[in-house]
């Protein structure tokens, strides 16, 4: 039985529109969301991030036009690669120490 190339623990959902991701420690925007799951996110950054770095991030999602509570999460850089557009980088990050209510919110959101 053939398995898919990529196996993920959590379903991902693409983010529609521009959702900025804010680094709460550096107090600056680090990029925009590409997709999100209960386990992590794809960040589209305007510059590479330090490999293996830890961040405290904040972003807001909407569900069918209805804003959800602002999400604050710890995130760990797993990988990064240049994106198709000049000066953009894809950064794969996993969430660290999610509060149970944030994990539930992200799980519910990403399964729609």
For 20-35, how does the pLDDT look when each residue is reduced to its tens digit (9 = 90+)?
Answer: 999 999 999 999 999 9
- The answer as to whether 108 is a domain residue is no
d(CA 106, CA 75): 14
- The answer as to whether 103 is a domain residue is no
Instruction: Provide the domain limits for residue 29.
Output: 16-97
- The answer as to whether 23 is a domain residue is yes
Among 4-8, 10-14, 17-21, 36-40, where is mean pLDDT lowest?
A: 4-8
Q: Beta partners for 3? A: none
How much of the chain exceeds pLDDT 70, in percent?
A: 92
Structure tokens of 72?
A: 């604050």
- The answer as to whether 50 is a domain residue is yes
Number of domains in the chain: 1
Q: What is the pTM of this model?
A: 0.86
* pLDDT band, residue 8 (cuts 50/70/90): low
Q: What value does the mean pLDDT of the chain take?
A: 88
């Amino acid at each position: 039985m053939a398995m898919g190339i990529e196996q993920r623990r959590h379903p991902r959902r693409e983010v529609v529109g521009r959702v900025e991701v804010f680094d709460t420690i550096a107090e600056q925007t680090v990029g925009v969301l590409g997709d999100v799951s209960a386990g992590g996110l794809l960040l589209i950054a305007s510059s590479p991030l330090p490999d293996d770095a830890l961040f405290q991030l904040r972003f807001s999602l909407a569900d069918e036009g209805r804003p959800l509570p602002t999400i604050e999460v710890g995130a760990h850089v797993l990988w990064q690669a240049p994106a198709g557009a000049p000066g953009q980088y894809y950064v794969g990050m996993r969430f660290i120490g999610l509060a149970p209510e944030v994990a539930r919110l992200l799980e519910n959101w990403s399964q729609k």
